[in-house]
Amino acid sequence: MAVKAVEFPVKLKWLNTPEPLSLETLRGHAVLLCFWNCFTPECLRAAAEVAELADRFKTRPLAIIGVHSSRFGEAIGPESVASSALRLGMQYPLVMDVNLEVWNAYGISAWPSFIIIDADSNVRGAVTGEGKMAALERALKAALDEGEKAGLLADKPARFHKIPGPPSLLAFPGKLEIDRKRGHIFISDTGHHRILQCALEGDSSAKLIMGYGSGRAGFSDGRSSGASFNSPMGLSLSGGTLYVADMENHAVRSVDMKTGAVTTLAGNGRPGFSASYNGTPLKIALNAPMDIVSDGANLYIAMAGLHQVWQLDIENNYISNFIGAGIESMIDGPFGNSGLAKPCGLSLRGNRLFIAEGNSSALRCADLSTHRLTTLIGIGIFDFGYVDGHFSDARMLHCQGIEAVGEKIFIADTYNNAVRYADLMGTVIYTLVSRKTESTFRTVPGPEGPLPLFEPGDVAYYNGKVYIADSGNHLIRVLDLGRQTLSVLDIT
């Protein structure tokens, strides 16, 4: 007996379509519901697979609907979901399932998940997890073929609004690194799959010197623009080498600053799921490395997809899991028994490795001398908010970038659209600049007027200024702590 699909609640917010959709208006189409969220690495990879499916069925009446269901609820608004969809190339209608109504109606329990609906609005099957595109393709083809045989299919596919990409030098810049000796800034131009090196000039200007990566997603070594990256994120400069967390290639790469040569140090281009490994770096599959930091001898890697921090011994060419048991959790204690929840940002000061966690909206501290992990800010997974004050009361929302300077830590509080700093001596956190609260910083007007921060992904401190990867605005911003101004870094 056929099970009818559940109609979308009428009050839900829709994106990428001029009007709300319903299963009734989509009758005659096979429908693929894709349950996703902005944060889960598995969803990011599944988005690319769904894009391939959409291309294969582009001449047939298949409607793909992205159902954004998040544990962060109303804290993640339509603007953020639209931005994430643009970054992931999701050129199909999206519905905001803020209260998990659609999620619960279909009994979904994990991201990503997919529901297949035939041309007569019957549920034909469900698939959970990434890497299931072959099964989805078979199920969709069967639903379309049967609908055609029964005379139920629409004459042509439905067409929906396409979102244009950002017309700017940068696209979703993810992470920053400063060469303090030369006054250079390195930018992960994540959406353009490349890394830019710029010389800082004056208060808020920079000159583009060099680009690394072809600008197209790929996984190849080579010199400068002859190499390719796939959504590069974290950067760490040590000696004459720039280390790169090449997130969607699930790899660690290096760039020789003298020759521009890009070399793969760890990872094989595929996502791995083993939380325990000790051995040769090129023989292990990593999982969504988001940030990286060097102490000269070792690299520390924020392995977001495994909820761990890994360590790579550069001289001995040896990699191993280092902090976290590999289970998404928020547990303090010895490194091997501790729990992390999507580490996104790292900063090293002496023997202390500070970690910005996304899914727990937390600030953690790993003591490299005692091998113990402690929580400074945060109370649990998916516990979030926006509260300044004592660490015990403070709340953040999916923070992704940090920079430790002395006993202060600058924090990119990403989905609060804010930059904050934590005073380790006073155990207090303050807001520096935010679109949600009154700020003491004056936003310097640009051509279109003052521009608030939008999803800052990283921060880097240099010469009295905090440089901000203003990811959602596709800009680098300059927070001048002395003049108390926020301006755009003009790159020429």
Same domain, 80 and 187: no
Q: From residue 417, how far is each of 1, 238, 255 by CA, in Å?
A: 49, 30, 31
- Give the domain-ending residue among 114, 149, 184: 149
Does any domain span residue 59?
yes
Same domain, 91 and 53: yes
> According to the model, what pLDDT value does residue 446 have?
53
Same domain, 110 and 49: yes
CA count, 13 A, side-chain hemisphere, 306? 27
Same domain, 271 and 327: yes
Query: Residue 279: is it exposed, middle or buried by C-beta count within 10 angstroms (0-12/13-18/19+)?
Result: exposed
Same domain, 401 and 461: yes
Q: Rounded mean pLDDT of 382-404?
A: 96
Least confident of 128-132, 282-286, 342-346: 128-132
In tens, the pLDDT along 151-194 reads: 999 988 887 766 676 778 999 999 999 999 999 999 999 999 99
Phi then psi for residue 191, to 5 deg, are -70, -20
At residue 202 the predicted structure's pLDDT band, cuts being 50, 70 and 90, is: confident
Query: Residue 331: is it exposed, middle or buried by C-beta count within 10 angstroms (0-12/13-18/19+)?
Result: middle
Q: Rounded mean pLDDT of 396-400?
A: 96
Residue 52 identity (one-letter amino acid) = E
Same domain, 47 and 99: yes
Same domain, 95 and 211: no
Q: Is the pLDDT of residue 406 over 70?
A: yes
Among the listed residues 50, 34, 15, 52, the one whose alpha carbon sits nearest the alpha carbon of residue 111: 34
> According to the model, what pLDDT value does residue 218 have?
97
Q: Is the pLDDT of residue 39 over 90?
A: no
Among the listed residues 57, 50, 46, the one whose alpha carbon sits nearest the alpha carbon of residue 147: 57
Domain at 360, CATH number: 2.120.10.30
- Mean pLDDT rounded to a whole number for the chain: 93
Same domain, 93 and 7: yes
> According to the model, what pLDDT value does residue 129 have?
87
Does any domain span residue 165?
no
> According to the model, what pLDDT value does residue 448 have?
46
Does any domain span residue 310?
yes
Query: How many distinct structural domains can be found in the chain?
Result: 2
> According to the model, what pLDDT value does residue 203 have?
87
Report d(CA 229, CA 159) in Å as an integer. Answer: 32
Token look-up 């993810």 returns 174
Report d(CA 48, CA 52) in Å as an integer. Answer: 7
Report d(CA 221, CA 336) in Å as an integer. Answer: 34
At residue 92 the predicted structure's pLDDT band, cuts being 50, 70 and 90, is: very high
Same domain, 282 and 425: yes
Contact 491, 189 (CB under 8 A): no
In tens, the pLDDT along 45-81 reads: 889 889 999 999 999 999 999 999 988 877 788 999 9
Give CA angle at 333 (387, 327), nearest 5°: 80
Contact 464, 482 (CB under 8 A): yes
> According to the model, what pLDDT value does residue 482 have?
93
**441 vs 377 pLDDT, higher one:** 377
Same domain, 23 and 130: yes
> According to the model, what pLDDT value does residue 394 have?
97
Does any domain span residue 419?
yes
Find residue 349's DSSP bridge partners.
352
Q: Got the DSSP string for 401-412?
A: EEEEETTEEEEE
Q: Rounded mean pLDDT of 10-14?
A: 94
> According to the model, what pLDDT value does residue 75 have?
76
Q: Got the DSSP string for 118-176?
A: -TTSEEEEEEESSS-HHHHHHHHHHHHHHHHHTT-S-SS----PPPPPP-SS-SS---E
Same domain, 315 and 263: yes
- For the chain, give the percent of residues with pLDDT over 90: 85
Least confident of 39-48, 247-256, 309-318, 409-418: 39-48
User: What residues contact residue 482 under an 8 Å CB cut-off, 6+ apart?
Assistant: 464
Does any domain span residue 413?
yes
Contact 469, 458 (CB under 8 A): yes
In tens, the pLDDT along 276-304 reads: 999 999 999 999 999 999 999 999 999 99
Domain at 44, CATH number: 3.40.30.10
Same domain, 119 and 226: no
pTM: 0.93
Does any domain span residue 100?
yes
Does any domain span residue 171?
no
Q: Is the pLDDT of residue 28 over 90?
A: yes
Residue 101 domain boundaries: 3-149
Does any domain span residue 159?
no
User: What residues contact residue 473 under an 8 Å CB cut-off, 6+ apart?
Assistant: 451, 453, 454
- For the chain, give the percent of residues with pLDDT over 70: 96
Q: Rounded mean pLDDT of 385-405?
A: 97
